[in-house]
Amino acid sequence: MFRGLSAFPITPADADGRVDVEALQRLVKRLVDAKVDSIGLLGSTGSYPYLSRAERRRAIEAAAAIAKGKSPILVGSGAMRTDEAVALARDAEEAGADALLLAPVSYTPLTDREVFTHFETVAAAVKLPVCIYNNPGTTHFTFSAGLVARLSRIANIVAVKNPAPDAGHVFAQLEDLRARVGRDFSLGFSGDWKVTETLIAGADAWYSVVGGLFPEPCMAIVRAVREGKPADARKLNADLQPLWDLFIAHSSLRVVYAAANALGIVKAAPPRPILPLEPDAERQVREVVERLRLR
Protein backbone atom coordinates (compact mmCIF):
# COMPACT_ATOMS: atom_id res chain seq x y z
CA MET A 1 0.00 0.00 0.00
CA PHE A 2 2.67 2.52 1.05
CA ARG A 3 5.30 1.42 -1.45
CA GLY A 4 6.28 2.56 -4.92
CA LEU A 5 4.38 5.24 -6.83
CA SER A 6 1.40 6.95 -5.23
CA ALA A 7 -0.08 9.08 -8.01
CA PHE A 8 -2.02 12.23 -7.07
CA PRO A 9 -4.53 13.49 -9.66
CA ILE A 10 -6.21 16.88 -9.70
CA THR A 11 -9.90 17.01 -8.76
CA PRO A 12 -11.65 18.72 -11.70
CA ALA A 13 -14.54 20.87 -10.49
CA ASP A 14 -16.60 23.79 -11.71
CA ALA A 15 -16.47 27.36 -10.38
CA ASP A 16 -18.96 26.44 -7.63
CA GLY A 17 -16.79 23.59 -6.39
CA ARG A 18 -18.90 20.76 -7.81
CA VAL A 19 -16.70 17.84 -8.82
CA ASP A 20 -16.69 16.81 -12.47
CA VAL A 21 -17.12 13.09 -11.81
CA GLU A 22 -16.58 11.98 -15.41
CA ALA A 23 -13.35 13.94 -15.76
CA LEU A 24 -12.06 12.64 -12.44
CA GLN A 25 -12.86 9.08 -13.45
CA ARG A 26 -10.93 9.54 -16.71
CA LEU A 27 -7.91 10.59 -14.70
CA VAL A 28 -8.30 7.70 -12.27
CA LYS A 29 -8.64 5.18 -15.10
CA ARG A 30 -5.31 6.36 -16.55
CA LEU A 31 -3.70 5.56 -13.22
CA VAL A 32 -5.37 2.17 -12.90
CA ASP A 33 -4.32 1.27 -16.46
CA ALA A 34 -0.74 2.28 -15.65
CA LYS A 35 -0.81 -0.02 -12.60
CA VAL A 36 0.35 2.63 -10.15
CA ASP A 37 0.95 1.30 -6.65
CA SER A 38 -1.69 3.59 -5.16
CA ILE A 39 -3.83 6.61 -6.01
CA GLY A 40 -3.57 9.70 -3.81
CA LEU A 41 -7.01 11.27 -3.95
CA LEU A 42 -7.80 14.67 -2.43
CA GLY A 43 -4.23 15.56 -1.64
CA SER A 44 -2.90 19.06 -2.13
CA THR A 45 -2.92 18.44 -5.89
CA GLY A 46 -6.53 17.33 -5.45
CA SER A 47 -7.35 20.68 -3.79
CA TYR A 48 -9.05 19.06 -0.79
CA PRO A 49 -9.31 22.24 1.34
CA TYR A 50 -11.36 23.92 -1.40
CA LEU A 51 -14.06 21.25 -1.54
CA SER A 52 -17.10 20.78 0.68
CA ARG A 53 -17.57 17.61 2.67
CA ALA A 54 -20.26 16.42 0.27
CA GLU A 55 -18.09 17.00 -2.80
CA ARG A 56 -15.13 15.27 -1.21
CA ARG A 57 -17.31 12.22 -0.64
CA ARG A 58 -18.56 12.35 -4.25
CA ALA A 59 -14.96 12.39 -5.44
CA ILE A 60 -14.07 9.34 -3.34
CA GLU A 61 -17.11 7.40 -4.53
CA ALA A 62 -16.33 8.29 -8.15
CA ALA A 63 -12.71 7.17 -7.84
CA ALA A 64 -13.64 4.00 -5.97
CA ALA A 65 -16.07 3.03 -8.72
CA ILE A 66 -13.08 2.86 -11.10
CA ALA A 67 -10.18 1.82 -8.87
CA LYS A 68 -11.59 -0.36 -6.08
CA GLY A 69 -9.89 -3.74 -6.12
CA LYS A 70 -7.36 -2.56 -8.73
CA SER A 71 -5.37 0.31 -7.20
CA PRO A 72 -5.55 1.22 -3.50
CA ILE A 73 -6.93 4.70 -2.83
CA LEU A 74 -5.24 6.96 -0.29
CA VAL A 75 -7.60 9.81 0.64
CA GLY A 76 -6.77 13.18 2.16
CA SER A 77 -8.95 13.87 5.21
CA GLY A 78 -7.38 17.04 6.56
CA ALA A 79 -9.60 19.76 8.03
CA MET A 80 -9.29 22.78 10.27
CA ARG A 81 -11.21 21.24 13.18
CA THR A 82 -10.56 17.81 14.67
CA ASP A 83 -14.25 16.89 14.65
CA GLU A 84 -14.43 17.77 10.95
CA ALA A 85 -11.36 15.67 10.22
CA VAL A 86 -12.97 12.75 12.06
CA ALA A 87 -16.16 13.13 10.03
CA LEU A 88 -14.18 13.27 6.78
CA ALA A 89 -12.14 10.24 7.77
CA ARG A 90 -15.30 8.26 8.47
CA ASP A 91 -16.81 9.43 5.18
CA ALA A 92 -13.70 8.24 3.35
CA GLU A 93 -13.82 4.86 5.04
CA GLU A 94 -17.49 4.40 4.14
CA ALA A 95 -17.03 5.64 0.57
CA GLY A 96 -14.28 3.19 -0.38
CA ALA A 97 -10.93 4.60 0.72
CA ASP A 98 -8.18 2.10 1.53
CA ALA A 99 -6.11 4.51 3.65
CA LEU A 100 -6.04 8.09 4.90
CA LEU A 101 -3.59 10.93 4.35
CA LEU A 102 -3.83 13.37 7.25
CA ALA A 103 -2.36 16.88 7.38
CA PRO A 104 -2.53 19.23 10.39
CA VAL A 105 -4.56 21.97 8.71
CA SER A 106 -4.72 25.09 10.88
CA TYR A 107 -5.04 28.85 10.99
CA THR A 108 -3.48 29.25 14.43
CA PRO A 109 0.02 27.70 14.58
CA LEU A 110 -0.13 24.32 16.31
CA THR A 111 2.09 22.79 18.97
CA ASP A 112 3.44 19.24 18.89
CA ARG A 113 1.02 18.26 21.64
CA GLU A 114 -1.94 19.61 19.70
CA VAL A 115 -0.91 17.81 16.51
CA PHE A 116 -0.33 14.54 18.37
CA THR A 117 -3.78 14.72 19.96
CA HIS A 118 -5.38 15.61 16.62
CA PHE A 119 -3.82 12.59 14.90
CA GLU A 120 -4.52 10.28 17.82
CA THR A 121 -8.20 11.27 17.73
CA VAL A 122 -8.66 10.87 13.99
CA ALA A 123 -6.77 7.56 13.87
CA ALA A 124 -8.92 6.17 16.68
CA ALA A 125 -12.12 7.01 14.78
CA VAL A 126 -11.42 4.67 11.84
CA LYS A 127 -9.93 1.28 11.07
CA LEU A 128 -8.03 2.50 8.02
CA PRO A 129 -4.24 2.89 8.03
CA VAL A 130 -3.14 6.53 8.29
CA CYS A 131 -0.24 8.30 6.59
CA ILE A 132 1.17 11.44 8.21
CA TYR A 133 1.19 14.30 5.71
CA ASN A 134 4.16 16.53 6.51
CA ASN A 135 3.68 19.52 4.22
CA PRO A 136 5.10 22.56 6.02
CA GLY A 137 4.93 24.75 2.92
CA THR A 138 1.14 24.56 3.13
CA THR A 139 0.31 23.89 6.78
CA HIS A 140 3.20 25.87 8.31
CA PHE A 141 3.79 22.99 10.70
CA THR A 142 6.89 20.80 10.46
CA PHE A 143 6.90 17.30 11.90
CA SER A 144 10.10 16.61 13.78
CA ALA A 145 11.59 13.13 13.60
CA GLY A 146 10.70 12.75 17.26
CA LEU A 147 7.03 13.56 16.69
CA VAL A 148 6.84 11.15 13.75
CA ALA A 149 8.34 8.47 16.01
CA ARG A 150 5.74 9.12 18.72
CA LEU A 151 2.90 8.97 16.20
CA SER A 152 4.31 5.75 14.69
CA ARG A 153 3.49 3.99 17.97
CA ILE A 154 -0.24 4.49 17.33
CA ALA A 155 -1.35 1.20 15.83
CA ASN A 156 -2.85 2.38 12.53
CA ILE A 157 -0.47 5.28 11.83
CA VAL A 158 1.86 3.44 9.51
CA ALA A 159 3.53 5.89 7.11
CA VAL A 160 4.78 9.42 6.59
CA LYS A 161 4.85 11.60 3.49
CA ASN A 162 7.76 14.02 3.86
CA PRO A 163 9.08 16.72 1.54
CA ALA A 164 12.17 15.33 -0.18
CA PRO A 165 15.43 16.77 1.17
CA ASP A 166 18.34 17.85 -0.99
CA ALA A 167 20.37 14.92 -2.27
CA GLY A 168 23.18 15.53 0.22
CA HIS A 169 20.84 15.04 3.18
CA VAL A 170 18.84 12.04 1.98
CA PHE A 171 20.86 9.24 3.60
CA ALA A 172 21.14 11.00 6.95
CA GLN A 173 17.41 11.71 7.12
CA LEU A 174 16.45 8.19 6.12
CA GLU A 175 18.86 6.57 8.58
CA ASP A 176 17.65 8.78 11.43
CA LEU A 177 13.98 8.10 10.75
CA ARG A 178 14.50 4.35 10.23
CA ALA A 179 16.21 4.11 13.59
CA ARG A 180 13.27 5.87 15.26
CA VAL A 181 10.27 4.20 13.60
CA GLY A 182 11.45 0.72 12.59
CA ARG A 183 11.43 -1.13 9.29
CA ASP A 184 7.67 -1.64 9.01
CA PHE A 185 6.83 2.07 9.05
CA SER A 186 6.80 3.47 5.50
CA LEU A 187 9.00 6.46 4.70
CA GLY A 188 7.79 8.27 1.58
CA PHE A 189 8.57 11.58 -0.08
CA SER A 190 7.08 14.26 -2.30
CA GLY A 191 8.68 17.02 -4.38
CA ASP A 192 8.86 15.27 -7.73
CA TRP A 193 12.14 16.72 -8.97
CA LYS A 194 14.01 15.49 -5.86
CA VAL A 195 12.40 12.13 -5.19
CA THR A 196 14.48 9.91 -7.48
CA GLU A 197 17.46 10.27 -5.17
CA THR A 198 15.35 9.36 -2.14
CA LEU A 199 14.15 6.19 -3.88
CA ILE A 200 17.71 5.23 -4.78
CA ALA A 201 18.69 5.82 -1.16
CA GLY A 202 15.99 3.42 0.05
CA ALA A 203 12.79 5.42 0.50
CA ASP A 204 9.63 3.33 0.35
CA ALA A 205 7.25 5.56 -1.61
CA TRP A 206 7.04 8.43 -4.06
CA TYR A 207 3.96 10.65 -3.60
CA SER A 208 3.81 12.26 -7.02
CA VAL A 209 2.01 15.19 -8.59
CA VAL A 210 3.18 14.46 -12.12
CA GLY A 211 2.36 10.79 -11.62
CA GLY A 212 -1.28 11.78 -11.23
CA LEU A 213 -1.36 12.89 -14.87
CA PHE A 214 1.60 11.13 -16.49
CA PRO A 215 2.07 7.88 -14.56
CA GLU A 216 4.12 6.02 -17.16
CA PRO A 217 7.43 7.97 -16.90
CA CYS A 218 7.14 7.89 -13.10
CA MET A 219 6.54 4.15 -13.06
CA ALA A 220 9.59 3.76 -15.31
CA ILE A 221 11.73 5.50 -12.67
CA VAL A 222 10.26 3.33 -9.90
CA ARG A 223 10.91 0.16 -11.92
CA ALA A 224 14.50 1.18 -12.62
CA VAL A 225 15.13 1.65 -8.90
CA ARG A 226 13.46 -1.66 -8.06
CA GLU A 227 15.63 -3.42 -10.63
CA GLY A 228 18.79 -1.95 -9.12
CA LYS A 229 19.51 0.40 -12.02
CA PRO A 230 20.13 3.81 -10.38
CA ALA A 231 21.86 5.23 -13.47
CA ASP A 232 18.78 4.47 -15.57
CA ALA A 233 16.54 6.07 -12.92
CA ARG A 234 18.66 9.21 -12.87
CA LYS A 235 18.60 9.41 -16.68
CA LEU A 236 14.81 9.08 -16.74
CA ASN A 237 14.54 11.78 -14.09
CA ALA A 238 16.90 14.07 -16.01
CA ASP A 239 14.77 13.63 -19.12
CA LEU A 240 11.89 15.24 -17.19
CA GLN A 241 13.94 18.29 -16.15
CA PRO A 242 12.04 20.70 -18.46
CA LEU A 243 8.88 19.73 -16.63
CA TRP A 244 10.55 20.06 -13.22
CA ASP A 245 11.70 23.55 -14.22
CA LEU A 246 8.08 24.52 -14.92
CA PHE A 247 6.97 23.05 -11.58
CA ILE A 248 9.56 25.13 -9.75
CA ALA A 249 8.74 28.30 -11.69
CA HIS A 250 4.94 28.16 -11.60
CA SER A 251 3.97 25.52 -8.96
CA SER A 252 3.15 21.93 -9.77
CA LEU A 253 -0.60 22.48 -9.25
CA ARG A 254 -0.92 25.21 -11.89
CA VAL A 255 1.30 23.35 -14.34
CA VAL A 256 -0.55 20.05 -14.06
CA TYR A 257 -3.90 21.79 -14.64
CA ALA A 258 -2.46 23.44 -17.74
CA ALA A 259 -1.06 20.12 -18.98
CA ALA A 260 -4.33 18.25 -18.40
CA ASN A 261 -6.24 20.92 -20.30
CA ALA A 262 -3.68 20.99 -23.11
CA LEU A 263 -4.12 17.26 -23.64
CA GLY A 264 -7.91 17.58 -23.61
CA ILE A 265 -8.25 15.11 -20.73
CA VAL A 266 -10.17 17.66 -18.71
CA LYS A 267 -11.52 21.15 -19.12
CA ALA A 268 -11.00 22.66 -15.69
CA ALA A 269 -9.38 25.51 -13.80
CA PRO A 270 -7.84 25.46 -10.34
CA PRO A 271 -10.16 26.50 -7.51
CA ARG A 272 -10.33 30.26 -7.01
CA PRO A 273 -8.56 32.32 -5.81
CA ILE A 274 -5.88 30.23 -7.59
CA LEU A 275 -5.81 31.35 -11.22
CA PRO A 276 -4.76 29.43 -14.34
CA LEU A 277 -1.35 30.17 -15.77
CA GLU A 278 -0.84 33.23 -17.94
CA PRO A 279 -0.98 32.51 -21.72
CA ASP A 280 2.80 32.58 -22.14
CA ALA A 281 3.30 30.06 -19.33
CA GLU A 282 0.52 27.86 -20.72
CA ARG A 283 2.32 27.88 -24.05
CA GLN A 284 5.52 26.77 -22.31
CA VAL A 285 3.65 23.88 -20.70
CA ARG A 286 2.19 22.77 -24.05
CA GLU A 287 5.63 22.93 -25.67
CA VAL A 288 7.24 20.84 -22.92
CA VAL A 289 4.47 18.26 -23.01
CA GLU A 290 4.89 17.94 -26.78
CA ARG A 291 8.69 17.89 -26.65
CA LEU A 292 8.75 15.16 -23.98
CA ARG A 293 5.98 13.28 -25.79
CA LEU A 294 3.92 13.04 -22.63
CA ARG A 295 0.52 11.48 -23.15
**CB neighbour list of residue 282: distance below 8 Å, 6 or more residues apart:** 258, 262, 276
Would you mind telling me the total number of residues written for the chain in this entry?
A: 295
Report domain extents, the chain.
Answer: 4-226
Mean pLDDT value of segment 148-173: 96
List 48, 161, 207, 257, catalytic entry = 161
Q: What percent of the chain has pLDDT over 70?
A: 100
Q: pLDDT category, 171, cuts 50, 70, 90? A: very high
Report pLDDT digits (tens) over 94-104.
999 999 999 99
Q: Cβ distance 40 to 1 under 8 Å?
A: no
- The pLDDT of residue 1: 83
244 sits in which H/E element: helix 241-250
pLDDT in tens, 73-89: 999 999 999 999 999 99
Share of the chain above pLDDT 90, in %: 99
The answer to the question of whether 111 is labelled as a binding residue is: no
Residues 109-141: tens digit of each pLDDT: 999 999 999 999 999 999 999 999 999 999 999
Q: How confident is the model at residue 185 (pLDDT cuts 50, 70, 90)?
A: very high
State yes or no: is 50 an active-site residue.
no
Per-residue pLDDT band at 166 (split at 50, 70, 90): very high
* Fold for the domain defined by 4-226: TIM Barrel (3.20.20)
| Chain mean pLDDT for the chain | 97
pTM: 0.96
Q: Are the C-beta atoms of 202 and 179 separated by less than 8 Å?
A: no
Helices (H), 37-169: 53-67, 82-95, 112-124, 136-139, 145-152
Residues contacting residue 115 through CB under 8 Å, at least 6 positions apart? 104, 141, 143, 147
261 has pLDDT over 90: yes
pLDDT band at 254 (very low <50, low <70, confident <90, very high): very high
Question: For 16-66, how does the pLDDT look when each residue is reduced to its tens digit (9 = 90+)?
Answer: 999 999 999 999 999 999 999 999 999 999 999 999 999 999 999 999 999
Q: How many CB atoms lie within 10 A of CB 239?
A: 13
The pLDDT of 153-173, averaged and rounded, is 96
Mean pLDDT of 174-184: 96
Residue type, 68: K
Q: Which of 133, 229, 235, 257 is catalytic?
A: 133
pLDDT for residue 265: 93
Average pLDDT over residues 176-183: 96
Q: Given this model, what pLDDT does residue 234 score?
A: 98
